[in-house]
Structure 1
Amino acid sequence: MQKPLILVTNDDGITAPGLRALVRYMKEIGEVVVVAPDSPQSGMGHAITLDNALYSKKVTIDLENGGHEEYSCSGTPADCVKLALQEILGRKPDLCVSGINHGSNSSINVIYSGTMSAAIEAGIEGIPAIGFSLCDYSWEANFKSTETEVKKIVEEALSNGIPKGVVLNVNIPKTKGEGVKGIKVCRQARANWKEKFDKRTNPMGKDYYWLTGEFELLDKGEDTDEWALSNGYISIVPTQFDLTAHHAIQDINNWSFNE
């Protein structure tokens, strides 16, 4: 039987340790092609390149784990997926996996996430897709601890399929060597960022700003991704890219538009 074709991408850049780990895991499951940004693209959301040329080249990053094709792209994570599907891959992939991100993409962070936007771009094109994130921002994060669960989730997705119009947002807690307690399918917790800009002045006297903030959890539910992660579980949030608030349609239809 033909191995499943798995497109691997991310937002931390093609040399990121999280992506290198994900490539190794996916090579045990299927045929891998990597198309990833040539530099970090964190926080880009679903941005795409319109006013600049896109560049891509075939690269070799990891000789020890070679035997698959890799391409760097000058654009955003969403650009990488678009370019892969339209110009690089010879057939439609069976799965797109994005990550493993250095840091959480749980709760409201999904809105800003380049990792998840790459997965969502694949989902828009009808390709089953999963975004993986480890809640550890360190470049030296222990991605080896994610191997068993990441492969299990991918194998289940390939075996059972992902519901149409849905992309999986998977976050893995940072553990201290004891491993995770299990996997929970959750809803996205209500939260926001209490942000402020740190105003500074450069040596030339010109003002500039540095965005800072604190994560504010507004949700006490025990069925959320934040609860799962804080209690040692991997969270899986089925995420849809249809942003329609279906529950609000009737209420807004009752407005007096035509009176």
Structure 2
Amino acid sequence: MAKSTMPVMPDVPETPDLATSGGETTAVAMTGKATKATKAATTAKREGAVAPARRGRAATRSGKTGRHVTPAPVAQQYLLNAAVELFHTEGVRAVGVDAVVKRAGVNKMCLYRQFASKDELILAYLDHMQTASLARIDESIAKRAGEPRAQLLQIFVDLAERASRPGYRGCPFVNVAAEFPDPAHPARQSVANYKAEMVRRFTELATAAGLREPAPLVDALSLILEGAYAASQTFGPGSAPLRILPTVARQLIDAGMAGALAAA
């Protein structure tokens, strides 16, 4: 039987060690063999996941009860880490709060002390993913400093590479939009905010490259960006549509800079 492939987790920004932060909440001791914990920690580090502070450092004893307690910010980070992994790989609606608290190693009361509802946890997850995703886009832009035309292309070169890795799960915002059809849902507002940030970056780069009317090129690039996310899930990672993505992006950028793209 073929070995299963671990999903590629999104890159996430580093967070400070929260073990010394104030506030407390009760935590349930995590179980499992040390070898499994070590393997999980190694995988998380390799894939860019935020590693929670060690419980041995974070936990203290609560007065006369002798129960181990975890500072509230640390417990919140455990929960967010679990949400990032589960929501992104399995879907927001498919994952219940029971699965999140089990993965985080805390109890349900702890979750509701940190997040008033599952919807609030979803919004925290999306805020986290926006920070991580935009940081990754900015890393692509930084590779070609001072070359706005090349910076636009680099975004798609790097996306094609990421989307060709086994286990790639696409754009978390596209996935969430598909799960929440009501445009008034707060999660959909988070999706709109993220996409607006991408449009802003495209517009700034196209303008810096010399386009007086950047909208046609920005719209075209936004379209193939969304198409690449979808193709990574329908055709699969490393498929032909993803391999040709940088070429299509280059052709669109050339056409846009030449004024050959008509406004909508």
Query: Shared fold by TM > 0.5?
Result: no
Considering fraction of residues, name the structure with more strand.
1
Greater Rg, structure 1 or structure 2? Answer: 2
The structure where helix makes up a greater share of residues is 2
Q: Which has the higher contact order (CA 8 A, sep 6+)?
A: 2
Q: Please, what TM-score do these two structures have when normalized by structure 2?
A: 0.28
